[in-house]
Amino acid sequence: MRIWLARWVCRDVESNLRRMAEEVDEAASAGARWVVFPESFLHGYTRRVEPERVRAAVTEVSDTHPGMTIFAGSFSEERRNRMTVWKAGRELARYDKVHLFPPNGELDIWEPGDRYVAVEADGERAGLINCNDLRFPEQARALRVGARATVLVAVAWWPWRRDWVWRTLLRARAIENACWVIGCCVAASEWPRERFAGAGNYVFDPFGEPVRTTDDHTYDLDPARAAGILVNPLELAVEIPRVEVEGGSPAGAGGADPERGPGA
């Protein structure tokens, strides 16, 4: 399956809306089935655009290319940082970012979501992840095991100076869950109030190997390679407690375990 990751430079809203359509045209010409846009790709952090206008634009683009699945990054709607997925002019799924990033003032802009979301697209199941969500492996695991996702699609507004963190987290989520992980990040913002150099785009296979691209946009992957790998059947049948602490020193005893020594 061929996917297309937008190498996106965020400009003014009018330009962004026009280039979104052009990007999908290019992806279709390249034979891609999925096209992925990054987080807040139409308006960034400092601008606003009416959600109805975004929806109308994405609906039109999606309707023009009914055979393609469009992961439309995220945009602001109902005080949420909302990812949406579209096909044939119809919204297939929406996911509101759960793990907002306080250092960027996100808690002043949005409210956190309250559920994880996977989407059925072209016979595959993809888990949706937005930027800082990557730092919470339990979300990826819930999507992989609970939702049976074979692909995780992560979008981001991640700075170049921490590209190594973004890349490492993507790879870790792929290895620990034995699934494909797609990472699409804003390449830059040219808006004067938020000039920004973003991290790279990456795709990792279920063993954490990077998938190469020859044009900085298209990547080929086989989701079937992730089906059933390293999934404990017990996890599919019962709810396992998150944390269980056993043993330990008697109340008031304190001190290090004499068997293990200090700092073990």
Q: What pLDDT score was predicted for residue 38?
A: 95
CATH architecture of 2-218: 4-Layer Sandwich (3.60)
Check residue 83 and give its pLDDT.
Answer: 94
Where are the chain's structural domains?
2-218
Amino acid (one-letter) located at 78: E
Question: In the chain, which residues have pLDDT < 50?
Answer: 251-264
* pLDDT on residue 226: 75
For the stretch 206-257, pLDDT in tens is 999 999 999 999 999 998 887 665 556 555 555 555 565 666 555 444 443 4
Q: What pLDDT does 206 receive?
A: 94
Q: In Å, what is the CA distance from 15 to each residue of 9, 21, 64, 135? A: 10, 10, 19, 32
- Helix, strand, coil % (nearest 5) of the chain? 30, 25, 40
What's the CA gap between 198 and 58, in Å, rounded? 24
Predicted structure pTM score: 0.85
* 200-183-94-149 Cα dihedral, nearest 10 degrees: 180
**pLDDT score at 258:** 35
Helices (H), 67-217: 106-109, 137-141, 163-177
What's the confidence (pLDDT) of residue 67?
96
199 Ramachandran zone, left/alpha/beta (phi>0; psi -120 to 50): beta
Residue 97 carries which side chain, given as an amino acid letter?
K
Looking at residue 13, what is its pLDDT?
A: 87
**pLDDT value for 204:** 98
